[in-house]
Structure 1
């Protein structure tokens, strides 16, 4: 029998084991993360499941069914430094409770696998979704080989003590061979559900991201002797851009952020010669995302011309939007309505392991539970206990709906992205 209260008790147990007065400290590839993993293994040891760690450090618990075709239930037990008590680990421990319920009912028709993805957060090396991108085949290991943490430790050296051979991480792709569907529960980490006074939501997909720098160059000049109408002030263009970004986003939807601004020569007595900003734009629709970035470039060029400046653009990072499976979204919506009476569909601004699994071609959906204050990655991260209980119940209903759906689907064997 499903026991959502046990999930909350285990979340609190994990918090006491791996947190301190500043919050959760389960940063991947550290002793505290390993302690959290051992905690999970101890719970899994009570179940009739096969447990192993794959080549990328992902931990798998497999409840063998009559069919090799598998429902995957995923999450991550790692955290950011001084993180919250629910981010990632709610997914894993809710999945553990579903495994318990299914195991008590005997051998399921389909295999059910719980996965704790390694280093979803990327907190130590600045590269998120390590384990899931290895399993999906989208990872390029050579881009990660040179990464170092703040103490100068390389990524390959950091993972070696945890039985992970950096040169073999892509062998994790074999884990998705029989993956027929993937579901993930997560706190929202934002304010939408709270603002609507709703406990749960069905996630439409993860935003695509365009992340760039925009640099204007003008002329440094004395701040006292240069009249305002004679200046080629690079900062003036950036100032105009701040408002324009909101206008562009308002027309097209999505979200946009100027997160950084730097100036040269950067002294109080000089007109700004060079001004660089960072621009992060996100949207669930690829066409709209492309339009937002094009309109931003057009505006930056216009402001440059108005100020007698030059402008250049730098690429920081981009990823396409990843819509989730429409039928699974419907199932998620139904499970929520059956549990709490009302649902809401919303996109995810943050990236999640679910996006990597979907990118590998596995039908995928996520369920969000309300975050108090819209705050995450912080020790004050929290969710009402009644909402946590409802989330485990609704997530369990979703699992049953997806398992029933699999019975109507043809058997497939998946070939991983980048497989030879």
Structure 2
């Protein structure tokens, strides 16, 4: 007998609580960084949970944990997220999407519903930034964008990313086999916490994500002249930090229409009694508009150069990384709208300012994301929280969306 699949909210909460117990000792929050022993143990639990939900489970060459429910026709429906955290991170950023995906598969299996498309559930390896300087490791491998240069990158101990992947259950010799064929995926849907305050402030339980911001990161090096702080007149100084300070304020000024942040600043020699001879800053701009990002990069380079010229300081601006904005699929958004309205729930349409595995998966086919509220807009911290009612609403929206996409 076929029953209408329905999310078990209490079961999902139990799964979230169980996964949260896998954390690194003597660290703040719910820390579970990629390649840590806690992360390795947690993914054994995830693989076991996938198997218990009726999924056929494998670990690919890049260390992704992939579960599958069979379908009767071609084309993959894919859902999932990641289970690693930042240092001092929370319980919901990533794990919600993985555990909701497992719950969706479990509900479909238990109901007797016959899928037309194969359903794949993925716990992507290492979405968060790591010591190797490569985020979204697992989804890059599936999208075919994990390069030999990435794999050769080293952490502070000298270990390569390839070696770390092997320690996490992957096989560097088979990493190329982890890539999926472009066009083989009918749709990818990721459930995620908003990581911002908009949903909570509006009292709306869900958001359909319209796009994911591109991220341009830059470094600026200001080379002035170190000098005695007490004996060098103010009009004779070539103060690298003062030039950098102007550039920091330029980031803030240029950010109108998107966001801009200077998150790191280093000063040399770093003594209170020495005029700074060198300063280095790292900044980023985020927007769903590529033209806006290009204009901000040019504007920042110009502002930094002008600040240096005014103070007799040599300025060098370098592009560190560039991630393209992604627009989610109109077809997937339409399926989400039908699914959410069918549940009798309200939703907003929001753009994501944070990066996600969805960005990489967009290279393979249509993608979409669903957001649920973050209490206080807080994320990447121990206080990260999404209430049980929103967890259940998000998982229900994910299930209804998967079924709507499967019925196309």
- Report the TM-score, using the length of structure 2 for normalisation: 0.90
Give the Å deviation of 1:355. Answer: 0.7
Change (3 A) 1:244 1:156: closer
Give the Å deviation of 1:171. Answer: 1.1
Change (3 A) 1:218 1:342: same
In the alignment, structure 1 residue 4 sits paired with structure 2 residue 9: yes
Deviations 1:48-101 (A, max 9, x none): 432211121111111111112111012122233443111211111111121122
Aligned partner of 1:220 in structure 2 is 226
Unaligned runs of 5+ in 2: none
Q: Take 1:125 and 1:222, find their aligned partners in 2: how far apart are those partners?
A: 38
In the alignment, structure 1 residue 130 sits paired with structure 2 residue 165: no
Aligned partner of 2:351 in structure 1 is 347
In the alignment, structure 1 residue 301 sits paired with structure 2 residue 278: no
In the alignment, structure 1 residue 43 sits paired with structure 2 residue 49: yes
Aligned partner of 1:269 in structure 2 is 273
Secondary structure of residue in 2 paired with 1:183: strand
Aligned partner of 1:74 in structure 2 is 80
In the alignment, structure 1 residue 403 sits paired with structure 2 residue 406: yes
Aligned partner of 2:387 in structure 1 is 384
Aligned partner of 1:357 in structure 2 is 361
Q: Take 1:355 and 1:74, find their aligned partners in 2: how far apart are those partners?
A: 13
Greater mean alpha carbon deviation, residues 150-159 or residues 203-212: 150-159
**Aligned partner (choices 245, 263, 274) of residue 239 of structure 1:** 245
Q: Take 1:31 and 1:274, find their aligned partners in 2: how far apart are those partners?
A: 39
Give the Å deviation of 1:12. Answer: 1.3
Deviations 1:363-411 (A, max 9, x none): 001111111122222222111221112111112222122223xx3xxxx
Change (3 A) 1:331 1:262: same
Deviations 1:322-375 (A, max 9, x none): 2211222233344445546432222222211111000x2310011111111222
Backbone CA RMSD of aligned residues: 2.3
In the alignment, structure 1 residue 197 sits paired with structure 2 residue 200: no
**Aligned partner (choices 109, 113, 116) of residue 109 of structure 1:** 116
Change (3 A) 1:337 1:244: farther
Q: Take 2:137 and 2:67, find their aligned partners in 1: how far apart are those partners?
A: 19
8 Å CA contact 2:185–2:364 kept in 1: the answer is no
Give the Å deviation of 1:254. Answer: 1.4
Q: Take 1:216 and 1:123, find their aligned partners in 2: how far apart are those partners?
A: 27
Greater mean alpha carbon deviation, residues 234-243 or residues 59-68: 234-243
Aligned partner of 2:295 in structure 1 is 291
Give the Å deviation of 1:205. Answer: 2.3
Count how many residue pairs are aligned between Structure 1 and Structure 2: 401
Deviations 1:86-132 (A, max 9, x none): 12111111111211222223321121111111122243534211111
Q: Take 1:100 and 1:334, find their aligned partners in 2: how far apart are those partners?
A: 22
Q: Take 1:45 and 1:301, find their aligned partners in 2: how far apart are those partners?
A: 57
Greater mean alpha carbon deviation, residues 258-267 or residues 348-357: 258-267
Q: Take 1:219 and 1:62, find their aligned partners in 2: how far apart are those partners?
A: 61
Deviations 1:202-258 (A, max 9, x none): 1122211111111223333333333333333222222222322222111xx111111
Unaligned runs of 5+ in 1: 408-420
Q: Take 1:225 and 1:269, find their aligned partners in 2: how far apart are those partners?
A: 10
- Report the TM-score, using the length of structure 1 for normalisation: 0.88
Q: Take 1:271 and 1:46, find their aligned partners in 2: how far apart are those partners?
A: 64
> Map of 1:71-220 to 2, 5 A cutoff?
71-103=77-109, 104-123=111-130, 125-148=132-155, 150-174=156-180, 178-220=184-226
Greater mean alpha carbon deviation, residues 283-292 or residues 233-242: 233-242
Change (3 A) 1:59 1:143: closer
Give the Å deviation of 1:291. Answer: 0.6
Give the Å deviation of 1:306. Answer: 2.4
Secondary structure of residue in 1 paired with 2:386: coil
Secondary structure of residue in 2 paired with 1:232: coil
8 Å CA contact 1:205–1:355 kept in 2: the answer is no
Give the Å deviation of 1:315. Answer: 2.7
8 Å CA contact 1:4–1:393 kept in 2: the answer is no
